[in-house]
Amino acid sequence: MYGREQTEQLNMSNVVQFRKPTLKQRHKGKTLCRSGFHRWEIKQAKQFDVKQGRLVTLYQCTRCGETKVQAE
């Protein structure tokens, strides 16, 4: 009756979410970062920067993905 492509689409494992995500779910973890309270994690430690002529550490926020560079 059905072709192979159509039967694969009718499987029970293909769950479609009908509800829109709430505002709380959409913006989870972003409010602290907007206020300046990032959760910094070291991405690359002790990297030499040629322009500054010293060692720098690269940090990345685990919540929003923003990066910063700090010279040591």
- Asked whether 57 and 44 are in contact (CB, 8 A), the reply is yes
Q: Tens digits of per-residue pLDDT, 2-21?
A: 555 555 556 667 777 788 88
**Helix (H, G, I), strand (E, B), or coil: what is residue 45?**
strand
Predicted pLDDT of residue 8: 53
In angstroms, the CA 57 to CA 44 distance is: 6
Q: Tens digits of per-residue pLDDT, 29-64?
A: 677 888 889 999 999 888 887 777 888 899 999 988
Q: Tens digits of per-residue pLDDT, 20-29?
A: 888 888 877 6
E-strand stretches of 1-72: 40-49, 54-61, 67-71
pLDDT at 67 over 90: yes
